[in-house]
Amino acid sequence: MPAGGPKKNMGRLSLTAAAVASADDGGVGKLKSSWPEMVGKEMVEAVAIIMSQRQDVIFKFLQADDPQPPDFDDHRVCLFLDENLIVVRTPVVG
């Protein structure tokens, strides 16, 4: 043993969004996948809020009348925006 006593390993702690969600929801492991409360918010605010809850997603920005993309991506959130960049449909993962 070194003269100063045992060395303590102060390793880094890394949490994924899934691990944080598991801790927050009692360990069930469900990540938030829908944000109806974002309808009516400005794009920048909506992105910031969603990113604070799901750091694992990317965003696809679409016009208000665009269809939902046909392919499913569990790491994508589609934001449907009007001409003033206001969210007009509930953002969902997919």
Dist CA 79 CA 56 (whole Å): 16
Cα(44)–Cα(34) distance, integer angstroms: 17
Low-confidence spans in the chain with pLDDT less than 70? 1-29
Class of CATH domain 32-93: alpha beta
pLDDT of residue 29: 63
Closest CA to 33 of 87, 72, 62, 1: 72
**Ranges of each domain in the chain:** 32-93
Note the pLDDT of residue 30.
85
pTM, to two decimals: 0.68
